[in-house]
Amino acid sequence: MKEFRGIGVSSGLVIGQVYVLVKKDIETFSRKRISADPQAEFKRYSESRERVLAYLQTIVKNLEINGFEERAGIFEGHMEFVDDEDAIAEIEKVLGNGELSAEAAVSDYYKECSNEMAAMDDPYFQERASDFLDVREKLLLALQGDSLQPLAAYPEDAVICCRELVPSDTALLDRTKVKGFVTETGSSTSHIAILAKALGLPAVAGVDGLLASVETGQFVFMDGSSGSIVLEPNQVFMKQAGKTIRDAQDRRQHLLEKSCLPAVTPDGRRIRLFSNIGSLDEAKVALQLGSEGIGLFRTEFLYAEKPQPLAEQELIEVFGAVADIFEDKPVIVRTLDVGGDKPLPWLDIPAGDNPFLGYRGIRIYKEFIDLITCQLRALLRANAVESRDLRIMFPMVISQEEVEWLIELVHTIESSLTEEGLAYRHCLLGIMIETPAASLMADKLAPMVDFISIGSNDLTQYTLAVDRGDTAVHHLYNPLHPAVKRSIEHIIAEAGCYGTEVGLCGELGGTREGIEFLAFLDIDEISISGEYILEARDLIRNMSM
């Protein structure tokens, strides 16, 4: 019996069989540099591009048929990367010099794109570098005439173990056979985390030395919450693990049966439980878990897989689809929150020396007015359907002047839609309070908006002057620090004076201690990530008063 420890990125307990995924070493033939015939190399590249596009189209159709429209969008983005005019022109130009093979030209171009994403400060966007590497890998395999699907055959109860997974590796897998994923690389924002959560499978990432220790066919126990991996567990461990898994399954089923019940404390305090999402797939899962609405729809995730901005009609369809899932329940959409710490490859924003305090959130809106106008138009138009309750939330607000400008911007857009004869309906407007400045000004900001959402993650790091991503000071990051608690209490009290709804989204709402603290305040809703909403509901209903 051998134990490993990684990062739990998707919760769940399973016992299964190891299946080691060994991928072909594409680096060997990507180093082929010399070309004798530029025209022949471009023809090979063009034919390979067509083959990859056909393969990606198969993935898209398969995912759409099986109800994974949002995941299908990832591969539609990959198709755009493959068929991008700038990419084709650049590779054709390089091949025309007669110095590189098609493999080398493709490898260099997409690796450079990946490196640009990896150099960004935000972990989520760093992980999107794998999308470019995925496209690169498929084109190189096609140039060599190899199979584009690495997971062609695997046993029942397979726990896929590999160095890393890119999106297309798992797009066609049979989820009835696969029990979980373990990778040597990755983090809580990596593709493996997103994929596993969408499929409802446990996953552990960042397991150093994994592949040197496992073999296909070995039994393995994994805990997707704690990140624990036990290889070839003994009989005593297996018996206990089996009982733990059964207990966890029974507990989850018990909580699911009560997911339709309201979260009401024993003394009658009603707290609505919402979900944090970044995609349509996550919205579907949230509803199954009994979510009463969406408290945070991170719209920047919609743009991360795309080589260019989404069109207005595309946004209308996405916002409308999520709102229709929740019918008349609130769907709070945070407007684009990107910048130096969360950049997009097609948006020219300098990182700055301290991106968390720099050019980000609403601070970029005046420069990129067309981008935010498109998003606001889409939200207003999507909300034209009477059964929908889409709400607009602006991030990184610090002053009354900013709120006044944002409200005026919405009114101007509504006037334009009226002049154009386009149907729309006003959305409730809110702000995130995630800075000490906004917290201290809560008495002035609350009467200006329909609702407030406390962004506890940023509020904590700004209040304590602690970068939550810096391991050297991470021990100082405490959402329940007395100063943070005072700030939250102040915000809720001031909002209550004006009848302004107030909620919270952030890690604080996903812990027992956080729920217990918030339940004693007059907070209207708590927005939670993942399955913890089941535990939160049970905790609130059975809380000791």
Q: Which residues are tagged catalytic? A: 191, 505
Residues near 478 by beta carbon (within 8 Å), at least 6 away in sequence? 460, 464, 484
CA distance 87 to 48: 14
In this structure, how many other beta carbons lie within 10 angstroms of the beta carbon of residue 268?
A: 7
The two structure tokens encoding residue 355: 């991106």
298 is in an annotated binding site: yes
Give the torsion through C-alpha atoms of 164, 166, 172, 177, to 10 deg: 20
Residues 495 and 452: beta-carbon distance below 8 Å: yes
Complete edge-to-edge strand list for the sheet that includes strand 228-231: 2-5, 228-231, 219-223, 13-20, 158-162, 178-183, 203-205, 7-10
Contacts 24+ apart (CB under 8 A), 350-358: 351/120, 351/121, 355/121, 356/458, 356/461, 356/467
The two structure tokens encoding residue 288: 């199954």
Report how far apart, in Å, the C-alpha atoms of 301 and of each of 314, 361, 411 are: 14, 14, 26
Residues near 416 by beta carbon (within 8 Å), at least 6 away in sequence? 377
CA distance 532 to 538: 10
458 is in an annotated binding site: yes
The two structure tokens encoding residue 500: 């302004």
CA distance 112 to 412: 41
457 is in an annotated binding site: yes
The amino acid sitting at 301 is F
541 is in an annotated binding site: no
Residues 159 and 17: beta-carbon distance below 8 Å: yes
The amino acid sitting at 531 is E
Residues 9 and 196: beta-carbon distance below 8 Å: yes
Please enumerate, by residue number, every residue annotated as part of a binding site for phosphoenolpyruvate.
298, 334, 457-458, 468
Please enumerate, by residue number, every residue annotated as part of a binding site.
298, 334, 434, 457-458, 468
Please enumerate, by residue number, every residue annotated as part of a binding site for Mg(2+).
434, 458
